[in-house]
Amino acid sequence: MQVAVSGGKGGTGKSTVATNLAVALHSLGTDIVMADLDVEAPNDHLLLGAELANEEPVNQFMPRFDYSKCTKCRKCAEVCEEHAIVTLKDGTPFLMPVLCSGCRACEIVCPVPGAILEGFRTIGHTYVTQTPYGFTLVTGKLREGEERSMPLVVVAKKKALEIQKKEGGMLLVDTAAGTGNTVSKAIEGSRLLIAVTEPTPLGIHDTELILKLGKLMKLETWVVVNRSDLGDVGKVAEIAEKYGAEIVAEIPYSENIVKSYVSGKPIVLENVPEAKIFRDLAERVTAFLGGGE
């Protein structure tokens, strides 16, 4: 059982919705594992007031050349689609690590046994953190300067699924912003996609993209409108209707939410009116997953 929280563009409050939903679901008695797959800028742990723990490196294959064996035939450079191998005039190959995707095509095509050796580089880390709210948070974090986030999303999601299998319950995934392939990978396998947006022209444009993705992946899709009093929710509703989605929550701009964000304390546990929005959303998710919708 998997639910994904996503958003067409960054800064819409996706992580605020995801973390508050996680805490609310858990407080309703739903066992959950949360996965922060926004690997370029994971921040769910900050919003949950937790310190990342149990760090493990995510390594990726990278060729190393044994120049005593290499015949300088250039085959490795020719096959590399990423142009990660450059050759000198005489054919001597050099690697530009940051461009390497780890596909091993160079290793496969090299005609000289042992000329390409096994190397690796650490592209990021995964973390498995016990939150103060009683559920596990799996986080993927890409190393600064690395550009390929897909391997990290794959490894972190696999880890989250293994923990979910062991512990039972539901997997709540917080994806990156946008509609790229890492977002699709994070969403894959979900029963429900919750798209968080705001009623600004850019927000509405990007909502359409995420709703298109939801439709393409044949997912039940809901929309949460954040800072709903700062624009025209009617326009979001029009787009949502076009894709068979429904607005399930509207969150007005709130100082209380900003304060909770800064202090790392989910607002859903506070005695303020905004908390009810997240509790209601959690109840709706529970009803949906239980077959109530």
Rg (CA), the chain: 22
106 binds ligand SF4 per the rule CB under 6 A: yes
Does position 119 interact with ligand SF4 (CB under 6 A)? The reply is no
Part of the chain binding ligand SF4 (CB under 6 A), chosen from 5-13, 29-37, 68-76, 238-246: 68-76
Q: Which helix (H) or strand (E) holds 203?
A: helix 201-216
Scanning 107-115, 161-169, 241-249, 260-268 for contacts with ligand SF4 by CB under 6 A, the matching segment is 107-115
- For residue 46, the number of C-alpha atoms closer than 13 Å in the C-beta half-sphere is 8
Q: Is 74 in the site for ligand SF4 (CB under 6 A)?
A: yes
Strands (E), the chain: 2-7, 32-36, 56-65, 85-87, 93-95, 116-130, 136-142, 170-177, 192-197, 220-226, 246-251
Q: Which of 191, 210, 48, 70 is nearest to 127 (CA)?
A: 48
Which of 48, 85, 142, 219 forms a contact with ligand SF4 (CB under 6 A)?
85
For position 123 contacting ligand SF4 by CB under 6 A, the verdict is no
Question: Tokens 């439709």 belong to which residue?
Answer: 215
Bridge partners of residue 174, in order along the sequence: 5, 36
150 is an interface residue for ligand SF4 by CB under 6 A: no
Is 80 one of the binding residues for ligand SF4 (CB under 6 A)? Answer: yes
Contact letters for ligand SF4, residues 4-43 (x by CB under 6 A) = ----------------------------------------
φ, ψ dihedrals at 31, nearest 5°: -70, 125
Q: Is position 196 an interface residue for ligand SF4 (rule: CB under 6 A)? A: no
> Which residues contact ligand SF4 (rule: CB under 6 A)?
61, 63, 65, 70-76, 79-80, 82, 84-85, 91, 93, 95, 100-106, 110, 112, 115-116
